A and B are shown apart, each in its own frame.
Chain A
């Protein structure tokens, strides 16, 4: 079956512009995560959605970052007034149920470059 799909795969934007990154999780997966990987760093947790529950936003680095998940499926990560330090690969992952016992299925990521 189809895996997690992310678009665009690459995005170059000018500092100060807003960007939207999209994630289509695996059908039926209730849990959805956003992570990012900056150069030479590990995967940094950003936000977690589970069903209709309030999302865990504890990893969002600033109020310029927001995310939503519509209809329990597609998710959009929005970065407003982008800064150069936002340059990273943004990874979306989904899992069939919540909890650490259910490994994550990752998309191929969106490589964001802020010039």
Chain B
């Protein structure tokens, strides 16, 4: 039973445009959400996070939006760059617990 879902396995975007990666979750108790980026043959690296007390968190070109009522979060990358091409995983957790639940990932391809 997957509690975090990324329904788009892949996304292709032109360089300079916006990339929007989506993530849905089923457990309304989750209160902390993260995005990781993964290049081939490397482990995932932390990108950005958001707690449930916020609905938006921004870090440079990366912004994460959280819609708690819809149990949905999204990652916006503006402007997209070819170096952003990677697999992006969203993850969710309860803040005081140690288990992170990951989605299956979305492969982003940014075309030059």
A residues with a Cβ closer than 8 A to B are 4, 31, 33, 35, 40-45, 48, 50, 56, 58-59, 91, 93, 98-101, 103-109
Whole-angstrom CA separation of A90 from B58 in the bound complex: 31
B42 interface residue (CB < 8 Å to A):
yes
Whole-angstrom CA separation of A109 from B45 in the bound complex: 12
Q: Is the CB of B103 within 8 A of A42?
A: yes
Within 8 A of A (CB), among B39-91: 41-46, 49, 51, 89, 91
Q: Is the CB of B43 within 8 A of A100?
A: no
Report how many residues on chain B are interfacial, defined by Cβ distance under 8 Å: 30
- Closest chain A CB from B100 CB (angstroms): 7
B residues with a Cβ closer than 8 A to A are 2, 4, 6, 9, 32, 34, 36, 41-46, 49, 51, 89, 91, 93-105
Q: Is the CB of B97 within 8 A of A100?
A: yes
Name the one of B9, B43, B97 contacting A93, with C-beta atoms under 8 angstroms.
Answer: B43
User: Taking each of B51, B95, B97, B100, which has the highest tally of chain A beta carbons within 10 Å of its own beta carbon?
Assistant: B100
Q: Which residue of A lies closest to B38 (CB)?
A: A106
Q: Which residue of A lies closest to B51 (CB)?
A: A101
Q: Is the CB of A108 within 8 A of B43?
A: yes
